[in-house]
Amino acid sequence: MFKYIAHRVLQLLLVIWSVGTLTFVLTRSLPGDMAYRIAASRYGYDQTDAAAAALVRSELGLDQPWWQSYFDWLLDLVQFNLGHSLVSGESIWAEIAHQFGHTLSLALAALVISVFIGPPLGLLAAQKPNGWFDRLTLVASTVLRSVPIFIIGIALITLLAVQIKWLPAAGYGTPQHYILPALTLAIGLSAVSVRVSRHAMVQVQTSEYYDFAQLKGLNKWTAFCRHGLRNVTIPILAYHSVQLVYLVEGVVIVESLFAWPGSGHALVHAIVARDVPMIQGTALIMGGMFVVLNMVVDLLSGLIDPRIDLAR
């Protein structure tokens, strides 16, 4: 167990360094004057001129060589200092702490909704493999997974917010504001979890131990609860751990689409404003969260199935 955790910690450090370095290189490679963009974000485009851009460039040290800025960032990172926003001047830790709570709550809501949609439909489809319901879920999953997430979001806004007027189209503040963005993310997750759950259940139903459990006199429900549930849970849990990448990517798009005040929405504004510390800090937290959540999923899988050896 100690060896596994040490390996994950090393992986986390490599992810933080690689994500931060790549973000630094990409932001420096963007066309246009970084100082002008930052000045425009601070004072507005109408109040920004060459003098304002020169003042910002001198204040933030943007005229330094790239290697000096990079090593200054590495030194701050070793001290767990993500710096301050170039636009607002606020601490990056404070900005992320405020925004990431909204992002995590939205992601958690999407995961809960997807769990209540995907696995139950998949288990139901597995009762009659290749039946009409199984084929229907296959077609629906293929179509929904191939559609970009922002198209799903726009369709939900048009139907539920504009046409029927049941829910607010965007914003934050009430439980109703969670429904559309969380449902948009959940539909994309559920599209594949239906098939993963169906395939896992079919494998369990055709296994020898499952047949033997029913030969002992157990009915289907009891056999499933005692011998099938844990075996079906493992691939479903593994799928959702892999789909954390999809969820992190989707949060950036969905938060911008629904004006959700989270890290994804802030990241888009930081990219436009060339707020490099904010971009790096948000990307580092997202990358680190991905590694940590995968470690948690691996530990949960080891608890569910003792045959999984995490020490290897």
* pLDDT tens for the chain, residues 1 to 312: 667 677 777 877 887 788 778 877 877 776 666 777 777 777 676 667 777 777 777 766 666 777 777 887 788 777 777 777 777 777 888 888 877 788 888 888 888 888 888 888 988 888 888 888 989 988 988 888 888 888 888 999 999 888 888 888 888 878 888 889 989 988 888 888 888 888 888 888 777 777 777 777 777 777 777 767 777 777 777 777 666 656 766 677 888 888 888 877 777 778 777 777 888 888 888 777 777 777 777 777 667 666 665 555
pLDDT digits 0-9 by tens, 48-89: 777 777 777 776 666 677 777 788 778 877 777 777 777 777
Q: Looking at this protein, which amino acid is placed at residue 112?
A: V
Q: Give me the pLDDT at residue 229, please.
A: 73
Contacts (Cβ under 8 Å, ≥6 apart) of 292: 12
Q: Cβ–Cβ contacts within 10 Å for residue 106, how many? A: 27
pLDDT for position 278:
83
Q: What is the pLDDT of residues 123-166, one digit of tens each?
A: 888 888 888 898 998 898 888 888 888 888 899 999 988 888 88
Sequence-separated (6 or more) residues with CB below 8 Å from residue 8: 291, 295
AA letter at 33: D
Q: What is the DSSP string of the chain?
A: -HHHHHHHHHHHHHHHHHHHHHHHHHHHHSSS-HHHHHHHHHH-GGG--HHHHHHHHHHHTTTS-HHHHHHHHHHHHHTT---B-TTT--BHHHHHHHHHHHHHHHHHHHHHHHHHHHHHHHHHHTTSTTSHHHHHHHHHHHHHHHS-HHHHHHHHIIIIIIIS--S-SS--SSTHHHHHHHHHHHHHHHHHHHHHHHHHHHHHHTSHHHHHHHHTT--HHHHIIIIIHHHHHHHHHHHHHHTHHHHHHHHHHHHHHTT--SHHHHHHHHHHHT-HHHHHHHHHHHHHHHHHHHHHHHHHHHHH-TT--TT-
CB 259 within 8 A of CB 171: yes
Q: What per-residue confidence (pLDDT) applies to 304? A: 65
Q: Which residues of 35-45 are buried (b: 16+ CB within 10 A; e: fewer)?
A: bbbbbbbbeee
Written as six digits, the tokens of 180 are 């559309």
pLDDT of residue 158: 92
CB atoms within 10 A of CB 280: 25
- Give the pTM: 0.73
- Of the candidates 140, 146, 147, which has an alpha carbon nearest to the alpha carbon of residue 117? 140
126 in Cβ contact with 134 (< 8 Å)? yes
Tokens of 115: 């769990």
